[in-house]
Amino acid sequence: MNSLEQQISTLAKAAVKALYGVEADDGQIQLQKTRPEFEGNITLVVFPFVKMARKAPAQVAAEIGEWLMANGEELIAKYNAVQGFLNLSISDAFWIDQLKAIDADEHYGHFEQPSEKALPFRKGEGVGSPLMMVEYSSPNTNKPLHLGHVRNNLLGYSIAQIQEANGWKVVKTNIVNDRGIHICKSMLAWLKFGNGETPESSGKKGDHLIGDYYVRFDKEYKAQIAELMAAGKDEETAKREAPLMLEAQEMLRKWEANDPEVRALWARMNEWVYAGFDETYRRMGVSFDKIYYESNTYLEGKSEVEKGLASGVFYRREDGSVWADLTQDGLDEKLLLRSDGTSVYMTQDIGTAKLRFQDYPIDKMVYVVGNEQEYHFKVLSILLDRLGFPFGKELVHFSYGMVELPNGKMKSREGTVVDADDLMDKMVEDAREISKDKVNTLQGITAEEADEIARKVGLGALKYFILKVDPRKNMLFNPAESIDFNGNTGPFIQYTYARIRSVLRKAESLQPSAVSSQLDPKELNLIQRLCEYPSIVRTAGDDFSPAVICNYAYALACDFNSFYHDLSILNESDTQKKALRLLLSANVAKVLCSAMALLGIEMPERM
C-alpha cells in the first residue's frame, strides 16, 4: 500500500464512522485503480458498507464521496459514483509532489530492509541487512548449457537482483556437479574416440567438445546394447553388461579411489568445460559470488550423515545403507548412503549446505531448481532442519516449470536441445538484421556501437521472452518461430527508453522546480504508474516473480508511448508544461532502466 492508498484508507474509515457510526476494518477498505473507461484515478468499493448503511450502493458511494470532498483537505478534486464504485480524482498538486519525490530519490523502488512478509527467523539478531543465498545454474560438467539452463540462469540472476532491491544482502552461488558417472562417460568416449582432440586443436568451445563425447558415448553404448540383444540377451542385462558401461563404472571407482591418471584427465577435461561455461555466463550476463564443486562437498555430506547417524537422526540398515525416516512428516524413507558407502544427491546437498553455512551467516537459502525436484527439496528441508541448520526449515525451493519444444521435452542425449550459445547468437543476429532497416535513426554510429546495440537488443528480447512467463508454469519455445521484437517484448521497452534518451539529449537541463501545476490525463496516468513501482518490487520479491516486473515495465512503456504520441515534449511552447514533461520522461526512463536491470536486461541509449 503506497502513501496515497494509506491516506484514502484513513479518510474512508473516518467517513464511514461519521456517516454510519461504524468502525471499518482494513479488510473492508477496498481500493483499486480506476478503470480507464471511468473518470478518476482511484476507486473505493463501497459494497462492504452497504449493509451497515442500509441504503442503495450508489447512494452510499455518493454520500462517502460528498464527505470526502468536504473533509479530504484538497487531496480529492472530484468524485463520481457508479453503482457501488466511488471513483475519486486526486488533485494535480498531489501527483506533482509525487513526481518530484520520485525524481529526488536516486534509488527509487529499492528498499533498505526486506518486507515484513519476507523477514527471516533471525529477525533482529544480525546487524544490517539479512543475508540471502541464491543458488542457481548448477550445471553438470558433461555437456553445454541449453535452453532449460537459460531459464534457470535468467530466473536465478533476476531473483537475486530483485531480492537485493528488496533490502537483502544477496550471495549468488553455483554448485557445479563436476563428478559422477555422466562425466566418466564423456571422459571414456574421449579416450576411446577422441584422438587427443582439444579445444585448441579443434577450435571447439570446451563445453561443446565434452558434450559431443557424451553424445558419442551414448551412441556407441546403444550400439553395444543392440549387439548384445541380437546375441540373445534381454534388454536389462544388455544395458547392464555392455562393456562401455562397465568401463565407465570402473572409471568412476578409480576416480573415487583417487587414481592419479583418471583424476588428471578429469581435471583437464573439466577445465575445458569451465572455460566454455564462463564464456556462456559472461555472454548471458549472469555471475556468481561463490562457486562450490560437488567434488569438494560430497565427502562433507558423508561426514554430516555419519554425525546424524551417531545422534540418532538417521539409522543404518542391515546391508549397511543409511536412511532417514520421514514417515512422521507424511513422506517416505529416504536413502542417504548406499550400501557400498557411496553418497547420493541428497548427501551432497547436505554437505554443500554445511560448507555454505560455515562460509556465510545465511538467513535464508533459496534454491533455483526445476519443479521436477520438488520432492527432493521437501526432504532436504526436513533433513537440514533435523541436522540443526537454522535455515533448513524455511529454505525456499524456487521451483520453475520446464521449457518445452513443440514436440516435447528437450533431451541432451537425443540431441533435441536448443543450445544456449546458438540461441544467443541467433538472437543477436536477428537484432542486427532488424536494425539494418533503421539506418536513418542510427546514422553516424560506429561498428562497435552497432554491435553493442544488437547485443543488448538480441539478449533483451531473449531474456524478456523467458522472464515474462510466470516461473511456475511450463513454457513453450518454438525454434521455428523467431522470438518477436515487436509488441510485448524486451526491445519494445528498450525502444521506449531509447526514445526518451533521444529527447533528453536534445533538451536543455531539467528544472524540477519550474514544472507546470496542471496535468493532462496522459501525464497524470504516467505519474500514477510511476508511483506503483515500489509496491511492484515488493510483490516481485515476496512472490519470487520476475514476471511481475515484466508486466509492470510493459505497462509503463505502453503508457509512455501513448503520452509520447499525443503530446509534444520539446515543441511545447509553455515552458512549465515542457519542464514537467521532461521531468516526467526522465523519470520514466529511470524507472524503466531500474526495472529492466532487475531482469538483467541492459538498455541501449539509442536503437
Partner RNA sequence: GGUCCGGUAGCUCAGCUGGAUAGAGCAACAGCCUUCUAAGCUGUGGGUCUCGGGUUCGAAUCCCGACCGGAUCACCA
- Our CB check for RNA shows the closer of 170 and 337 to be 337
Q: In this structure, what DSSP letter does residue 28 have?
A: G
User: From the CB of 437, what's the least distance to RNA, in Å?
Assistant: 6
Least distance to RNA from the beta carbon of 508, Å?
13
CB of 571 vs RNA, minimal distance in Å: 6
Phi, psi of 114, deg, nearest 5: -60, 160
Measured from the CB atom, the residue of 154 and 453 that comes closer to RNA is 453
Angle at 206 between CA 195 and CA 280, to 5 degrees: 165
Whether the CA torsion 212, 218, 221, 227 is positive or negative: it is negative
Closest distance of CB 29 from RNA, Å: 11
Nearer to RNA, 422 or 543 (CB): 543
Sign of the torsion angle spanned by Cα atoms 209, 210, 215, 217? positive
Shortest reach from residue 447's CB to RNA, in Å: 15
Which residue, 85, 69, 100, is CA-closest to 34? 85
Which residue's CB is nearer to RNA, number 44 or number 171? Answer: 44
Smallest gap, in angstroms, from Cβ of residue 197 to RNA? 26
Q: Which is nearer to RNA, 94 or 560 (CB)?
A: 560
Which single residue is written with the C-alpha cell 529416504? 334
- The three three-digit cell numbers of residue 220, written as one number: 556407441
Nearer to RNA, 331 or 597 (CB): 331
| Structural contact between residues 347 and 305, judged by C-beta atoms closer than 8 angstroms | yes
Smallest separation, CB 379 to RNA (Å): 9
Nearer of residues 84 and 148 to RNA, judged by Cβ: 84
Shortest CB 340 distance to RNA, Å: 6
- Closer CB to RNA, residue 159 or residue 457? 457
Q: Is 401 helix (H, G, I), strand (E, B) or coil?
A: coil
- The CB-of-195 to RNA minimum distance in angstroms stands at 29
Q: How far is the CB of 306 from RNA (least distance, A)?
A: 17
129 by DSSP, 3-state: which? coil
d(CA 302, CA 344): 9
User: Cβ contacts of residue 104 below 8 Å, gap of 6+?
Assistant: 512
CA 491/CA 514 separation, integer angstroms: 33
Grid cell at residue 393 = 526449515
Which residue reads 546437498 in cell numbers?
349
Q: Which long-range contacts (CB under 8 A, 24 or more apart) does 245-252 make?
A: 245/221, 247/188, 248/181, 248/184, 248/185, 248/188, 248/217, 249/181, 249/184, 251/184, 251/187, 251/188, 252/180, 252/181, 252/184
Nearer to RNA, 265 or 548 (CB): 548
- Select 262 or 431, whichever has its Cβ closest to RNA: 431
Helix axes of 243-256 and 181-193: crossing angle, nearest 10 degrees: 120
CA–CA separation, 15 and 22 (whole Å) = 10
571 φ, ψ (degrees, to nearest 5): -90, 5
Q: Which is nearer to RNA, 363 or 602 (CB)?
A: 602
What's the closest the beta carbon of residue 607 comes to RNA, in angstroms?
Answer: 4
Q: Which one, 358 or 443, has the nearer CB to RNA? A: 443
Please give the full DSSP string across 509-574, using - where no structure is assigned.
---GGG--S---HHHHHHHHHHHHHHHHHHHHHHHT-HHHHHHHHHHHHHHHHHHHHHS-STT-SS
Closest CA to 217 of 22, 412, 82: 412
User: Would you say 111 and 538 are in contact if contact means Cβ atoms under 8 Å apart?
Assistant: yes
Rounded to a whole number of angstroms, the minimum distance from the CB of residue 599 to RNA is 15
